[in-house]
Structure 1
Amino acid sequence: MYELFFWKYLDEVYLNHHLVYEALLEKETLEGLEELPVEVILNRISNAFSTWEKVDESSWKNNKGPGAFQIITTPQSIQIDCYGTEGKTMNALVDIMEEFKCPLYDPQVPQRYDEMAE
């Protein structure tokens, strides 16, 4: 499993990314973070992955190759757990979250990619 994690700071707020991640994992609400348009984001992902099988409200499976992912949300965060998912698929998810100004926090590294190099 590879975990992708996203949240958005309020303007001029900078917190310890790893502590934010740990708090959001525990479904805590944090001052300094914006509430996300969770339903809009889920709809956007669902549309982008319309060729994938939607297993349930928050899980998708690729019928044409490897990969599946599950999305866990709080009002302030989007967590995407990827199972055997190809890099290009994970990049597509990261790109969608960038549309909502939510940079990737990669807890495996751990690093937050505030300025995406494109």
Structure 2
Amino acid sequence: MYELLFWRYKEGIYLNHHEVYENLEDEIPVEGLEELPVELILRRINSVFSDWERVDEISWKNNKGPGAFCVKTTPFSVKIECYGTLGTSMDQLVDVLDEFKCPLYDPQIPQRYDEMSEK
């Protein structure tokens, strides 16, 4: 499994990304995160992956090739668990969340890909 995690900071707030990740994993509230339009994000993912089978409300699998993923949300974060998913498909997921101004945090590295880390 490969995890992709997304959240958005409130204006003027920038926290330790790994601590934010750990708190989100432990379901500890994190001050300074913006509420996300979770339903819109899920609809957009469903639209982009319309040729994948929708297994349930939060899971998709590719019947034409490798990969499956599960989208777990809170009001402040989106975690996508990828199972054998190709990098190109993961890039599409990153692009969808980027549309909602939610940069990727990759806990495997750990690295957050946002405008502050690019400076």
Q: Which residue of 2 aligns with 1:7?
A: 7
Q: Does 1:77 align with 2:77?
A: yes
- TM (norm. structure 1) is 0.96
Q: Which residue of 2 aligns with 1:97?
A: 97
Q: Which residue of 2 aligns with 1:46?
A: 46
The letter for the 2-side match of 1:66 is P
| SS of residue paired to 1:5 | strand
Q: Which runs of 5+ in 1 are unaligned?
A: none
The letter for the 2-side match of 1:49 is F
Contact 1:29 / 1:76 at 8 angstroms: preserved in 2? no
The letter for the 2-side match of 1:24 is L
| CA apart distance, 1:78 | 0.1
Q: Which residue of 2 aligns with 1:26?
A: 26
Provide runs of 4+ in structure 1 moved above 3 Å. none
Q: Which runs of 5+ in 2 are unaligned?
A: none
Per-residue CA deviations over 1:41-80 (Å, capped at 9, x if unaligned) read: 0000001101000000000000000000001111000000
Per-residue CA deviations over 1:73-101 (Å, capped at 9, x if unaligned) read: 11000000000000000000000000000
Q: Distance in 2 between matches of 1:94 and 1:32?
A: 22
| CA apart distance, 1:29 | 2.2
Aligned residue pairs total 117
| SS of residue paired to 1:4 | strand
| CA apart distance, 1:25 | 1.2
User: Over aligned residues, Cα RMSD in angstroms?
Assistant: 1.2
Q: Which residue of 2 aligns with 1:36?
A: 36
Aligned-pair identity (%): 66
Q: Distance in 2 between matches of 1:62 and 1:79?
A: 19
